[in-house]
Amino acid sequence: GESVGLHLPTLSVQEGDNSIINCAYSNSASDYFIWYKQESGKGPQFIIDIRSNMDKRQGQRVTVLLNKTVKHLSLQIAATQPGDSAVYFCAEGRRSNDYKLSFGAGTTVTVRA
């Protein structure tokens, strides 16, 4: 069965607002998590990752938060722009299964002008 899942399949955000995309996972053995962005007609693009021994990691305009207690992962996008419109996937990996990522179903983010 699926080891990662997203809370909402779609998210509509006003341009300039912050976006929060959530993801739940079930396997305590996950060693790392990754967020990908997929624009229409393109392959997924790496955004940011976080190891299981971390709670937070920041990138350019993005922050990933990991709550291992409730097995929850979130991606926050600051000052959302039209170019952020895409499908966002969370994925998890394990060192014991190092060459395979398990992806969630994806959240479609639409940015309103």
Nearest distance, CB of residue 20 and other proteins, angstroms: 21
Site membership for other proteins, residue 104 (CB under 8 A): yes
Q: How many degrees, rounded to 5, is the angle at CA 105 between CA 104 and CA 108?
A: 120
- Break the chain down into helix, strand, coil percent, rounded to 5: 5, 55, 40
Tokens of 35: 């967020």
Long-range CB pairs of 62-65, under 8 A, 24+ apart, other chains included: 62/35, 64/33, 64/35
* Contact string 52-81 vs other proteins (x = CB under 8 A): ------------------------------
Site membership for other proteins, residue 30 (CB under 8 A): no
Amino acid at 77: I
- Side-chain-side CA neighbours of 72 within 13 Å: the count stands at 8
Element containing residue 68 per DSSP (H, E): none
Nearest distance, CB of residue 16 and other proteins, angstroms: 29
- Whichever of 41 and 113 has its CB closer to other proteins, that residue is 41
- Whichever of 31 and 72 has its CB closer to other proteins, that residue is 31
Site membership for other proteins, residue 112 (CB under 8 A): no
Q: What residues make contact with other proteins under the rule CB under 8 A?
A: 2, 32, 34, 36, 41-46, 49, 51, 89, 91, 93, 95, 97-106
